[in-house]
Structure 1
């Protein structure tokens, strides 16, 4: 699944995590200060732009240069380490490009968050009838938003086009590898489906989860300082009272609560989804054999196989019932949690509507990043079931024992083949 596309996967991903961790620490503790000393830092108390000039701020330009050097260094190192890998251009450099574009998306979110404050305050001034607010104030702000949005749209469209090719290249790498081992794999239940369908689903699902994870990490890196700054407006919480950096700790608590809740109630779902694919494939293949062989797909066999399908689906329905109870409870509570916590601050008149918009966006970004497992749990369940199916391929290639359900299928196939061989012609 990985070594057919990525160079030395375990070392590659571990080195990527370690390199990213060191690069982030080096930026905050070394290079950010160097940038300030060279005149690239923002003036004390300066308000960040909320238009396209945000991307041209000296501090951002300096960071972009640092970011580019880190990315190019990592890519060049792996291009040298595994220079004979035929997929190095897509697996290494393609992944780095996706990471860079993901960071750009986070930057766009920061610009829009900056924009919410003047727009919210302008809206509030107009609703209160304060003099000096004109229609052009709104139109100019909308024009700025459109400029940022259209730039983001253009980059996103091109990225989606590139990502589609990236996923197909990964699928091609897996397909070529598995087909080269076809004689060892062809007897596995649903072998054709695993090569034709599961490879595409695995690459597409994992790529989507990977981008979401990278986006969550980058969002935390960018928005945590913003949330720290906005915490100065929130001096008191209901029941709890006063705590420093209240918004930051609230985001961590709420996201941790949701993650633990859904991970606990959904612990059995990956295994059930995995078994569901197995029993469906076994039933489908028996019907396919029945099209060409009169001795296959007999009523007793079909009843047994379909009974397995029904039993597994009913179990899934039950487990998804209480999982969805917990999931939707959390989602509905999430809509009111921040507002409930900000009631004392709002009543005291310590924030404007524009500041509230900034707080809500920053809190939502940080909270959603910490809620990665909550937001991606159903997709992760699907990925785990696909991964288990493809691991059976890996086991057959490496000569390891197959999972029990695959061994049972091979026994059934052997018995069916023996029956067909003994049948009079």
Structure 2
């Protein structure tokens, strides 16, 4: 029941959304096709009766009629199978599109993706939850539910046939023969319940093994991605041996769990095969005495055997799909776990982030580390349009943390932060260049404007990227193609294009030589005279491009001074 509640928790948002009516129509069409296939199975069962009776009676005309009926039944089976597949896949496509976009919205809204990284360090591979687990959840949910529907309808459809056939079976006792009402039904029921119980007992460890397998496979893939993203650094360190050792450890962890999973699956597979196949001969053994006594013809025996198989398969459905059921449960557990983290990730900040059109005002700002050590106490700052401030301190003194607090990315703080947040921009030490063409990367996060390509090329030339001006249409992994220095100059191009009212530069020129750094800052001062600049850096040469310097010191102390000659 707990798994079913979790299933409905994941499924309900889609089935109560604006997509519910088209989805219900597709579900109705899929169910209708499925029921038609059950109808074909019922007709096939009666076909068994007449066809094998014709064979036993050497009725050639009946044989030909039966052959024609068989062809029509197979055509109907193929048509309804394709129809059910078509509507089911359309429903899967619609559901997956909505569910993936919905979870992406939750993950991206209010910067949950960033807050998860800070507060939920045990969240494993959110990318897999969104890209793979949602798809698995939808596919397996539809497959299992439609399979269950088919089993229930088949059970009640063939139950009547099997119940009637039980009247043909007499049980000898004390010299007399007795007819047990529904004997074949009760045999199928007991056999199925017993088999299902054994299957659940044998496979009780499968859900946890499936859960762990997905996690270890994702960890292995992530380590490969990390090497690709940091190929230059690894090559410079000559860290191939260490990386290989880490790959092997994660691979062995995945393979070890995989083999444990295989051993359990072998046990379940062998048991299920023996259990399901043996069901086909049970009714024949029960009815053999009456058949050989001539109580009924071969067609009746074949029909009853087929009906027994359908009833037994319907009751034993869970045995047949138990491996998939365990995997479905593990997928639900992973998605629910991720959903709970998304729901609870909201870290309440005590910093009031307010919008104001002009200037930047920081009042009574206290910042501390997660362990409680204070970085700032009662910090105040007021800057007017065109002002510039450089934050200087050795590493570990909280320069970047101050920027992150002001911009709302650090929550261990209180106070107030007021500026034009809608037109602010932050350039980090490691710029982000999204996948796509170079024009889109330079305009990010705004949509590119082709009509301003001339201005874009001029800015690229001013920052020393004229060699890339003819590659605006090319799509590459620019973060891997460009050097860090080139990436940082791309970030300056981005700032000059978007013209923010407040620009935070968090060591955004650390990979540039002195000449290129001076060129980029000079461009900012000339092109964006009314923009508030707040820079984090170590280079003393940067002071000349700022009106004030904020020097951070030990024990949450700081000194703010003016620069004598600012450019």
Q: 5+ residue gaps in structure 1?
A: 8-84, 127-132, 402-420
2:259 to 314, 321, 343: 314
Quote the offset at 1:197 in angstroms: 2.1
Q: Deviations over 1:143-186 (max 9, x none)?
A: 22323332343233223212111111111111111110123357
Aligned partner of 1:43 in structure 2 is none
Q: Say whether 1:349 aligns with 2:294.
A: yes
Aligned partner of 2:199 in structure 1 is 262
* Distance in 2 between residues matched to 1:283 and 1:264, nearest whole Å: 31
Q: 5+ residue gaps in structure 2?
A: 1-9, 118-122, 347-429, 431-509, 512-567
Q: Say whether 1:288 aligns with 2:213.
A: no
Aligned partner of 1:276 in structure 2 is 213
Q: Check conservation: 1:238, 1:344, Cα contact below 8 A.
A: no
Higher-Rg structure is: 2
More off after superposition, 289-298 vs 349-358: 289-298
Q: Deviations over 1:311-350 (max 9, x none)?
A: 3123223323433342333234334322222222223222
* Distance in 2 between residues matched to 1:311 and 1:91, nearest whole Å: 41
Aligned partner of 2:14 in structure 1 is 5
Which structure is higher in strand share?
A: 2
Q: Say whether 1:326 aligns with 2:271.
A: yes
Q: Check conservation: 1:4, 1:177, Cα contact below 8 A.
A: no
Quote the offset at 1:245 in angstroms: 1.4
Which structure is higher in helix share?
A: 1
Q: Check conservation: 1:168, 1:200, Cα contact below 8 A.
A: no
* Distance in 1 between residues matched to 2:201 and 2:314, nearest whole Å: 19
* Distance in 2 between residues matched to 1:92 and 1:144, nearest whole Å: 34
* Distance in 1 between residues matched to 2:260 and 2:173, nearest whole Å: 42
Aligned partner of 2:502 in structure 1 is none
Quote the offset at 1:400 in angstroms: 7.4
2:107 to 178, 182, 193: 182
Q: Deviations over 1:7-66 (max 9, x none)?
A: 2xxxxxxxxxxxxxxxxxxxxxxxxxxxxxxxxxxxxxxxxxxxxxxxxxxxxxxxxxxx
Counterpart secondary structure, 1:4 = helix
* Distance in 1 between residues matched to 2:290 and 2:83, nearest whole Å: 43
Quote the offset at 1:272 in angstroms: 0.3
Counterpart secondary structure, 2:49 = helix
Quote the offset at 1:292 in angstroms: 2.2
Q: Say whether 1:207 aligns with 2:139.
A: no
* Distance in 2 between residues matched to 1:228 and 1:209, nearest whole Å: 27
Q: Name the Cα RMSD after superposition.
A: 2.9
2:66 to 137, 141, 147: 141
Quote the offset at 1:281 in angstroms: 0.6
Quote the offset at 1:382 in angstroms: 2.0
More off after superposition, 140-149 vs 111-120: 140-149
1:374-389 paired onto structure 2 within 5 Å: 374-389=319-334
2:53 to 114, 121, 129: 121
Higher RCO structure, 1 or 2 (CA under 8 Å, sep 6+): 1
